[in-house]
Structure 1
C-alpha cells in the first residue's frame, strides 16, 4: 500500500512538474528547507548576497516542516512550481520532491546540508540502525537522489558525505555554510550578545553555560537523571545555564533553573562562556567563537550502538568527554581547556576560504551552476 501511494504521488508530482515546465524559467534561485517554518539563516544570507551582487536575480525561500502528509501536499506542489521555473535549486535537508522527481529535474540541485562539519554517520551510512532509516524506506523514497552538487565544510569529510548521500565524490565541493561569516563577524557577535542579555537580564553578572545536545529519535533511558545531575552540579549563584535544543528536538528540561530563549533570532551561543554539548556539530560553532567545549556523554554506551561516527569523539576531539556532570564543572572551575588544540581541530574541519567570505564562496558556485558555467 505504501509503495502504491508513493508511485501515485510521484506520478502526480511529475505531471505537475511537466506542466509547470511550460512556464518561463525566471532569474531566481529557490531554496528549500524542511528544518523549520522560519527562513534558515544560511538561506537568508544567500538571499541577501544575491540581492547585493546580482540585483536582477531573486532568491525564493520555501521553509516548511512536515507536520502531516495531507498538509504537506500543497507545500510540495508549491516546491514543484519553483523548481520548474528556477535555473538552480538549493537544499539544506532532505527534500521529498527532489528525491522523487530525481533526474526529471532540469535545473542543477545543490545540497548544502544544515550542519557545520560532519561527525555522525547519516543517510545511506546509517541505514537499518536505530537512529537512521530503513533500507526499504530509503529505496522507496529514493532518499537523497537528484543532487548535482554537494557542499561540505571541509574536504576532510568529502568521502563521508558522499557515502551518506550515496553520490559520487566528484560532485562534493568545499564550501562552509554562510552562517560561519556571522560567527566570525565581531559586530554580529556584539549585537547578538546584547540581544541575549536584553532577553535574559538574569544572565548579567554570571558566567553563562549553554547546553546544546544533539537530536535523538528517542529519549535516552537515563536522560532525566542526567539532566538532574547536570543541574545539581552547577553553582547557580555564580553560573547560569541556558538550554539551546536542536531545532527539531522535542526534549524539554522541566526545571526553572534551565533558561530557554524562545526567539529563534536570538542565539544564546554568542553569550556563552562555556558550551556543554555531546555529539553535536555545534562544537564547531563554539570553536569558531573561541568558547571552551565540554562533552556530556551520559548515554554514550547506548547511543554509539545506535549511531556510528565518522570521527572518534573520545580520541579526535580535544575536549573533555565524560558521563560525569561533576567532572565537567570541575574542569570549568579549573580553566584548563586547550584552546590551541581545539582551534586546530576546528580548522581541519571548517576550511575557510582565503580571499572571500563563506557566503560569497558558496553563492558564486550556485550562480555558476545556475548560469550553466559548470
Structure 2
C-alpha cells in the first residue's frame, strides 16, 4: 500500500512539474527548507548577495516545517512550481519533491545542509539505526536523490557527507555556510548580543549560559534526571540560563528561571558567555565566536549505540566531555577552557577562504551551476 501511494504521489508530482515547465524559466533561485517556518539566515544572506549580481538574480525562499501531511500538499505544489521555473534550487534539508522527482528536474539542485561542520552519521550512513531511517523508507522515498552538488564546511568531511547523502564524492565541494561571515564579524555579534539583551532586560548584570542540545528522535531514559542535575548545578544568582532547543525538537524545560529562546528573533547564541551542548555542531558556531564550549553527554552510554559518529568526541574535541553537570558548573566557575586549542579545532573543521566571504564563495558556485546551461 505504501509503495503504491508513493508511486501515485510521484506520478502526480511529475505531471505537475511538466505542466509548470510550460511557464518561462526566470533568472531566479529558489531556496527550500523544512527546518522552520522562518527564512533561514543562510538563505537570507544568499538572497542579498544574489541581488548584487549584474543582472541580479531574484531569490524566493520557501520555508515550511512538515507538521501535517495534508497541509503540506499545497506547500509541495508551490515548491514544484518554483523548481520548474527557476535557474537553480538550493536546499538546506531533505526535500520530498526533489527526491521524488530526481533527475526529472532540469535546474541544478544544490544541497548546502543546515549544520556547520559534521559530527554524527546521518542519512544513508545511519540507516536502520534507532536515530536513523529504515532502508525501506529510504528506498521508497528516494531519500536525498536528485542532487547535483553538495556543499561542505571543510573537505575533511567530504567522504562523510557523500556517505550520508549517498552521492559521488566528486560533487561535494568546500563552501562554509554563509552564516560563518556573521559568526566571524565582531560588530554583528555585538549588535545581536545587545538586541537579545534588550529583549530580555532581566538578564542585565549576569553572565549567560546558553544550552543547545542536539535533536533526539526519542528522549533519553535519564533526560529528566539529567536536566534536574544541570539546573541544580547552575548558580542562578550569578548566571542567566538560556535554553535554545533544536529547531525540530519538542523538548521543553519547565522552570521559571529559564529563558527559552529560538532563532526567530535575535540569536541567543550571540549573547552567550558560555555554551553547553552535547553532540551538536553548534559547538562550531560557538568556536567561531570564541565562546567556551562544554559537552554535557548525560546519555552517552545509550546515545552512541543509537547513533554513530564521524569524530571521537571525547578524544578529538578539546573541551570537557562529561555526564556530570556539577563538573561543567565548576569548569565554568573557574574559567577552565583552552581557548587556543578549541580555536584550532574549529578552524580545522570550518574552512577559511582567501579573498572572499563564505557568502560570496557559495554564491559564486551556485551561479556557475545555474549558468552552465541556458534556461530551457
TM (normalized to structure 2)?
A: 0.98
CA distance in 1, matches of 2:340, 2:308: 28
In the other structure, the counterpart of 1:116 is 116
CA distance in 2, matches of 1:65, 1:197: 28
SS in 2 for 1:48: helix
The 5-angstrom pairing of residues 156-167 of structure 1 reads 156-167=156-167
SS in 2 for 1:53: coil
- Following TM superposition, where does structure 1 have runs of at least 4 consecutive aligned residues deviating by more than 4 angstroms? none
Task: Give aligned pairs, total.
Answer: 374
CA distance in 2, matches of 1:225, 1:157: 35
Deviation of residue 354 (structure 1)?
Answer: 1.1
CA distance in 2, matches of 1:177, 1:263: 16
In the other structure, the counterpart of 1:232 is 232
In the other structure, the counterpart of 1:32 is 32
Question: Contact 1:79–1:97 at 8 Å: present in 2 too?
Answer: yes
TM (normalized to structure 1)?
A: 0.98
Deviation of residue 261 (structure 1)?
Answer: 2.8
CA distance in 1, matches of 2:262, 2:24: 41
In the other structure, the counterpart of 1:194 is 194
Deviation of residue 37 (structure 1)?
Answer: 0.8
In the other structure, the counterpart of 1:135 is 135
The 5-angstrom pairing of residues 130-279 of structure 1 reads 130-262=130-262, 264-279=264-279
Q: CA distance change for structure 1 residues 373 and 347 in 2, over 3 Å: closer, same or farther?
A: farther
Deviation of residue 262 (structure 1)?
Answer: 4.9
SS in 2 for 1:52: coil
Question: Contact 1:231–1:257 at 8 Å: present in 2 too?
Answer: no
Deviation of residue 95 (structure 1)?
Answer: 0.3
SS in 1 for 2:52: helix
In the other structure, the counterpart of 1:365 is 365
The answer on 1:82 being equivalent to 2:82 is yes
Deviation of residue 52 (structure 1)?
Answer: 2.2
In the other structure, the counterpart of 2:331 is 331
CA distance in 1, matches of 2:57, 2:214: 36
Question: Which stretch has the larger CA shift, 261-270 or 325-334?
Answer: 261-270
| CA-based RMSD | 1.2
SS in 1 for 2:170: helix
5+ unaligned residues in a row in structure 1: which ranges?
none
SS in 1 for 2:280: coil
In the other structure, the counterpart of 2:50 is 50
Task: Output one character per residue of 1:42-83: Cα deviation in whole Å (capped at 9) or x when no partner.
Answer: 001100111123453200111111112111111111111111
Deviation of residue 263 (structure 1)?
Answer: 6.2
SS in 2 for 1:250: coil
5+ unaligned residues in a row in structure 2: which ranges?
none
Task: Output one character per residue of 1:8-37: Cα deviation in whole Å (capped at 9) or x when no partner.
Answer: 000000011111112111000010001111
Task: Output one character per residue of 1:81-134: Cα deviation in whole Å (capped at 9) or x when no partner.
Answer: 111111111000000000000011111100000000000000000000010000
In the other structure, the counterpart of 2:98 is 98
Question: Contact 1:199–1:261 at 8 Å: present in 2 too?
Answer: no
In the other structure, the counterpart of 1:293 is 293
In the other structure, the counterpart of 1:349 is 349
CA distance in 2, matches of 1:266, 1:189: 10
Question: Contact 1:226–1:298 at 8 Å: present in 2 too?
Answer: yes
Question: Which stretch has the larger CA shift, 327-336 or 293-302?
Answer: 327-336
SS in 1 for 2:37: coil
CA distance in 2, matches of 1:27, 1:59: 9
Task: Output one character per residue of 1:291-318: Cα deviation in whole Å (capped at 9) or x when no partner.
Answer: 0000000000010010000000000000
CA distance in 1, matches of 2:115, 2:262: 21
CA distance in 2, matches of 1:193, 1:263: 13
